[in-house]
Amino acid sequence: MSVSKKISGKYKSRLMKRILPLLGVLAAGAVAAYFVNVSQYREKFVPGTYVDGVNVSEMTPEELAGQMSDEAAAYKLRMKFLNDVTEEIPASAINLKYEPLDELNGILAGQNPYAWLSGMFGRKYAYNLKTEITYDEAKLREAVNSLPELQPDYILEPEDARLKMNTDGTLSIMPEINGNRIEVSELLKEAGKSILGREESLDLVAAEDIYDKPEVLSTDKELVDSLENLNAILGTTVTFKMSDGTDRVLDRSVTSNWLTTDENGGYEMSDETLRSEAAAYIAGLAKEDDNYGNYRTFASTNFGTVRLETEALHGHLLDKEKMADELVKTLESHKDAEIGMTYSKMEDIKDPRFGGTYVEVDILNQHVFFYIDYELYYDGDCVSGLEYGHATPSGIFSIQDKERGRILEGYNSDGTVSYTAYVEYWMCFYPHYGLHDASWRDYFGGDIYLYDGSHGCVNLSRYTASMLYDAIDYDTPVIIFRGQDDYAVPEDEIDPNTEDSIAQ
């Protein structure tokens, strides 16, 4: 063995004798330091400790609880209203508190203080607190109710979209109004969630159910469909052909009055309303058109349609139910139409102008008209029977006899002849009653019949009588009436002893 190797071995031996004691001292110091830290981490959180996501290493529960309580005291809930208006409710206004110390002490008591070194090298110990923030619900309600946005003068109620009437008679949609009324109970619920969740902002506009919203929007399908249907109904024209040849037109001027309004003032027309109004309209037509009964109607010259009572049933009755159904179907089809009369009862339907050729005797106007084929052939004044004694009977008669150069005889109550009178033109419409000339009269018409009337016949000037006589035929109707509603005297009520002639 060489000398150098011997020297090196001796050197190493002496070096180890010196190092080993030093290493022992260092190891003892490290152990002592470790246990010293173990003792410290019995009072504070070990490295790598996270509470609710926040690193709380080296903090005592008291320090962390104090910090959390301070943060809670500085809390403010910022609420965003419509139009970007914001309001704040501070923690002090609702007695907000956060006291997690007991739970933090529990976390500390449960940690392993000997694990502090592993935390130094990156290990994490995460905890989520269960302790909740507390606040005074009554104070929160008070704070919310005091906000300007909840005061009565500020509130605008929401309104549903609805149908409105335009100046041209059509309907259109009036858009909804969103308003700004707030459901306080919903606001309190959402605010409570935000506070407990430590959220500092609450968007009331984006939140559900806080702002009251209209139930019906302008895009609502039912509203749009109703608009289209009602405008189509209002735009439908239905023409009814009345039995007298005239028309009755139903259009928007009528059907617009059938619209009703809902609680918001919007226009509507339910199926029930449509049917009810259609039935009422047909009932109105029936009042005009129905003429069933013991009378006939007559289209007079001066009075329009008059009623003449008869013994036999005449006329017709509208089938109001069928016609109402037809009207509803027509309106719902949205197509213009003409509808004729549908009758439930018809008896001896008569032309109100008696075939167009007839004599009309208007007692009140003391005038006679003669029509041929619906055209006026001739007319003139007359004098009828003395109204209060020998009144000319009104009713529906016909020419029974014509004679030139007839001598009329008047009778006394005992049947003896009281006088005779010669007439050139005699046209009898009922036994002992006729139209004839009266040469002894200088005037006709006016109110002569009230004080100097005939004994029941219709007196005419010679010229008028000649004109009628030359043109009139047997069985030509003679219609005699006094006004709008008249009574046709039954045969057994006409005095058979009435004089043929007028009083001279």
CATH number of the domain that 362 lies in?
2.40.440.10
Angle between helices 61-73 and 101-110 (to 10 degrees): 150
Give the phi and the psi of residue 86 in degrees, each rounded to 5.
-120, 145
Indicate the residue among 167, 190, 217 that finishes a domain.
217
Indicate the residue among 321, 347, 373 that finishes a domain.
347
Provide the domain count of the chain.
3
Q: What is the pLDDT of residue 23?
A: 47
Q: Residue 325 domain-assigned?
A: yes
Is residue 127 helix, strand or coil? strand
Q: What is the pLDDT of residue 169?
A: 92
Long-range contact pairs involving 198-205 (C-beta distance under 8 Å, separation at least 24): 198/75, 198/133, 199/77, 200/75, 200/76, 200/77, 200/78, 201/77, 201/78, 201/79, 201/80, 202/77, 202/78, 202/79, 202/80, 203/80, 204/79, 204/80, 204/81, 204/82, 205/80, 205/81, 205/82
Together in a domain, 167 and 233: no
Residue 24: half-sphere exposure toward Cβ, Cα within 13 Å: 6
Q: Residue 8 domain-assigned?
A: no
Here the tokens at position 390 are 């020998």
Together in a domain, 83 and 207: yes
Question: What residues have CB less than 8 Å from 16, skipping those under 6 apart?
Answer: none
Together in a domain, 370 and 475: yes
Element (DSSP H or E) covering residue 273: helix 271-289
Helices (H), 346-478: 448-452, 462-471
Q: Residue 206 domain-assigned?
A: yes
Q: What is the pLDDT of residue 10?
A: 60
Q: Which residue has the tokens 């509208």?
A: 318
Together in a domain, 394 and 444: yes
Together in a domain, 258 and 153: no
Q: Taking Cα atoms as reference points, which of 98, 121, 112 lies closest to residue 45?
A: 112
Q: Residue 425 domain-assigned?
A: yes
The low-confidence residues of the chain, meaning pLDDT below 70, are 1-37, 349, 484-504
Together in a domain, 367 and 435: yes
Write the DSSP symbol of residue 400.
Answer: -
CATH of the domain at 333: 3.10.20.800
| pTM for the model | 0.55
Residue 100: half-sphere exposure toward Cβ, Cα within 13 Å: 25
DSSP per-residue string spanning 17-73: HHHHHHHHHHHHHHHHHHHHHHHHTTTSPPTTEEETTEE-TT--HHHHHHHHHHHHH
CA distance 121 to 325: 92
DSSP per-residue string spanning 169-228: S-EEEEPPB----B-HHHHHHHHHHHHHTT-SEEETTTSSSSB---SS-TT-HHHHHHHH
Q: Residue 194 domain-assigned?
A: yes
Is residue 333 helix, strand or coil? helix
Q: Taking Cα atoms as reference points, which of 206, 207, 162 lies closest to residue 185?
A: 207
Q: Residue 451 domain-assigned?
A: yes
Together in a domain, 169 and 262: no
Residues in the chain: 504
CA angle 278, 280, 283 (to 5 degrees): 110
CA distance 448 to 461: 14
Cβ atoms of residues 239 and 185 within 8 Å: no
Together in a domain, 246 and 202: no
Together in a domain, 318 and 406: no
Is residue 470 helix, strand or coil? helix
Q: Residue 123 domain-assigned?
A: no
Q: Residue 122 domain-assigned?
A: no
Together in a domain, 82 and 212: yes
Together in a domain, 181 and 239: no
Within 10 angstroms of residue 359's Cβ, the number of other Cβ atoms is 24
Domain range enclosing 445: 354-493
Indicate the residue among 196, 217, 238 that finishes a domain.
217
Together in a domain, 228 and 212: no
